Amino acid sequence: MSANTYYSAEQHGDFEVYDLGDFVLEGGATLRNAELAYTTYGELNEQGDNAILFPVMFSGTHAAMAPYVGEGLALDPSQYFIVIPNQLGGGLSTSPHNYYGPYHARHFPELSIGDDVRAQHQLLESLGVKQLQMVTGWSMGAQQTYEWAVRYPDMVKRAAPIGGTAKTTSHCSLFVDVFCEALKSDPAWSKGDYDSSSEVQEGLRRMGHVFAMMGVSREFYNQNVWQEFGFSSYEDFLTGLWENWFLPMDPNNLLCMAKKWRQGDVSRHFDGNLTQALASITAKVSVVSFEKDMFITAADCKLEQQMISGSELISIPSLWGHFTMLGVNPDDFKLIDNTLKKILAQAV
Amino acid sequence: MSANTYYSAEQHGDFEVYDLGDFVLEGGATLRNAELAYTTYGELNEQGDNAILFPVMFSGTHAAMAPYVGEGLALDPSQYFIVIPNQLGGGLSTSPHNYYGPYHARHFPELSIGDDVRAQHQLLESLGVKQLQMVTGWSMGAQQTYEWAVRYPDMVKRAAPIGGTAKTTSHCSLFVDVFCEALKSDPAWSKGDYDSSSEVQEGLRRMGHVFAMMGVSREFYNQNVWQEFGFSSYEDFLTGLWENWFLPMDPNNLLCMAKKWRQGDVSRHFDGNLTQALASITAKVSVVSFEKDMFITAADCKLEQQMISGSELISIPSLWGHFTMLGVNPDDFKLIDNTLKKILAQAV
């Protein structure tokens, strides 16, 4: 397999690598010499309690979330020690495409959201973090946020899952299945035995189209909202945003993350009882949903929020739907930043 | 290409065939000796004005709509002369798979909703129909309903488009593109040059999954509603309903219909002005939408309904979403039948 230069500091900005050692996965396999890629911003205080953890979404790296970090923003590095961990399987951490040996590529073991969160916990311990002022993340980042709140209640003061659920819904699983199938439909995928991502470009493009259909609101298409964001046509929006997003990525990495997403479920800590799992959370939880989200709907988010005592629900109305979080619309970005400011300002 | 026994009276019940002669399509090609398959119920009265036209949806035949016809139902053959025309390209009428010669299979010309409606108009003239008490149809049947109301205003007293639009929305076009792409992703499709449908079964199954994702409501999955309808699991619902539906069908037929669907637009009669096109309708229009429809949403239907003077909007709340019309749930069937009864009872 040829090297994929997409997964590099040149493309995503500098990052650190934490050595996880021989990391035993929930599924039973051991990732020997596993590595967790991450970035930090700001300084940890002496008490080790001014940290914020900001895990990332499906197909994303720290680069996608980094714009939310900056002076004057909610995630202000002059005030907080902010850690953005990349996903295992995400391409910069140990992942199918960069992990050589018997677990290489299509032989990479199945991961869980819990694996990510345990790896992050090891990292934070090594950095001296004692308490998290907030865990927040979007989509699969929200899954990790919920996992943190359930698994390490003592460490998490505030949890703000954004456009994501504690347990993947059945309909959302179908969405994951459909986009994985679109990718795997490409004969060049060869059950993961391709030589380079570019060979699988038809599958990656098809996957992009499924995301296009579900990723933003219907109104985004029906009212030609793409015009406001530098796209010259409907076709240009499909190619310029969605195909462009997935084309450089490694199919095995994407499928690895997708499987994690589909299985995401904090209730496994409570024998499948989601009510008990969510009731166990001690953090102040602010559930942020996107009103026009089509695969992790505001209704899905609300159902879970109602099971968390003392929690609040915040709904953001943008026509960008699930992908509001990309902040392509500066107004959306401001709204999300302001939301995070309010959440951080709450006494807990 | 081997014969496809799915497209037969054995599978769909008896039907008549009307000889359209050399039928010139809107796109310019001529279908020589074209045939329109149809069924009728009841008797036409002497004035020729007790007729109801009930065109069919994508991938459907008269068999799918026939349950709505019967004594005591809205579409009562003791009172009305009811005509269910099959779509051109739908498999029983002249279609890619059964039309031999230079336009066979993948060489079949592009059709339009207008072609269907003109063919139906010829048929009705030959049957002696002077006036339609109602045109009603679901999904692509609704597209034909709108086309009738705009093209032949003098003949249509009532128009009841159900879960369909006069102009396909941009988001719905994307849905059509995605399911067509799922079908065409199968290498066995060979740009339409397969020998039998069964060779393309992987593509047909994938297409079924896209329909599964968008065809019923999210709640249908998230609340395991499939349990109430004889499916033993989520997987069984996917295979037993959605794959089973598409597997016997001919891919070229499906793609032919899909293209018609995507291009559906009554505004082409008014230089692209949809407002004018809908304002031209003289029939009493009752727009019926499904509250949980994900690809032809209640909001889409309402937008058009508001452009039609004297029209009404009826919204049906079933968790079956777009596929409420299948009437799998007897309560939905009754609700739709009662809705049609009310529409027919209105003086116009």
- Active-site residue, from A115, A186, A265, A293: A293
Determine which one of A139, A197, A217, A318 is catalytic.
A139
Q: How far is B170 from A336, CA to CA, in rounded Å?
A: 28
| A139 a catalytic residue | yes
Backbone angles phi, psi at B316, to 5 degrees: -110, 125
Q: Do B222 and A187 touch (CB under 8 A)?
A: no
Which residues does chain A have within 8 Å of residue B180's beta carbon, measured at their own beta carbons? none
Q: Tell me the nearest-neighbour CA distance from B6 into chain A, angstroms.
A: 26
- Give catalytic residue positions of B: 139, 293, 322
- Which chain A residues have a beta carbon less than 8 Å from that of B210? 178, 210
In sign, the C-alpha dihedral spanning A151, A152, A157, A161 is negative
Residue of chain A whose Cα is closest to the Cα of B188: A187
Give the ipTM. 0.95
**Minimal CA–CA distance to B269: which of B277, B260, B261?**
B277
Angle between helical axes of A140-151 and A113-127 (0-180°, round to 10): 70
Contact A270, A276 (CB under 8 A): yes
* Span B9-168+264-345 CATH architecture: 3-Layer(aba) Sandwich (3.40)
What is the C-alpha separation between B346 and B158, in angstroms, rounded?
A: 9
Give the pLDDT score at A2: 56
Distance (Å, rounded) from C-alpha B135 to C-alpha B159? 5
Three-class DSSP category at B33: strand
Same fold, A9-168+264-345 and A173-256: no
Q: How far is B113 from chain A (nearest CA, A)?
A: 21
Distance CA B305, CA B287 (A): 6
Q: Could you tell me if A213 lies within 8 Å of chain B, comparing CB atoms?
A: yes
pLDDT, position B129: 98
Q: Does B297 touch chain A (CB under 8 A)?
A: yes
Query: Which pLDDT tens digit goes with each residue over B185-234?
Result: 999 999 999 999 999 999 999 999 999 999 999 999 999 999 999 999 99
Q: Which residues of chain B have pLDDT under 50?
A: 1
CA nearest A148: which of A134, A138, A162, A163? A134
Show the tokens assigned to B154: 């003098």
Query: Would you call A302 an interface residue with chain B, using a CB distance cutoff of 8 Å?
Result: no
Residue carrying the six token digits 């596993």? A34
Best B176, B213, B300 member to test A by mutation, with max A CBs in 10 Å, is B213
Q: Which two tokens stand for residue B298?
A: 């209640």
- B289 Cβ under 8 Å from any chain A Cβ: no
Task: Give the residue extent of every domain in chain B.
Answer: 9-168+264-345, 173-256
State the pLDDT at residue B306.
Answer: 98
Overall fold of domain B173-256 = Rna Polymerase Sigma Factor; Chain: A (1.10.1740)
For B297, the closest of A170, A218, A238 (CB atoms) is: A218
CB within 8 Å of A66: residues ≥ 6 apart: A13, A39, A84
Q: Is there a contact between B170 and A212 if contact means CB atoms under 8 Å apart? A: no
- pLDDT value of position B3: 75
* A-chain residue closest to B211, CA distance: A178
Compare CB distances from B213 to A175, A209, A212 and report the shortest one's residue: A175
3-state SS assignment for residue B101: coil
Tokens of residue A270, six digits? 């409570």
Beta bridge partners of A51: A81, A132
Quick check: B123 and B66 in contact, CB under 8 A? no
Distance CA(A63)–CA(B2), nearest Å, equals 54
| Distance separating alpha carbons of residues A327 and A40, to the nearest angstrom | 21
Are B85 and B60 spatial neighbours (Cβ–Cβ below 8 Å)? no
Q: Do B209 and A170 touch (CB under 8 A)?
A: no
**Residue ranges in chain A modelled with pLDDT below 50:** 1
Beta-strand relationship, B30-41 and B81-85: antiparallel
Helix (H) or strand (E) holding B31, with range, is: strand B30-41
Q: Which residues contact B126 (CB under 8 A, 6 or more apart)?
A: B18
CA distance linking residue B347 with residue B327, whole number of Å = 27
How far apart CA B136 and CA B114 sit, in angstroms, is: 16
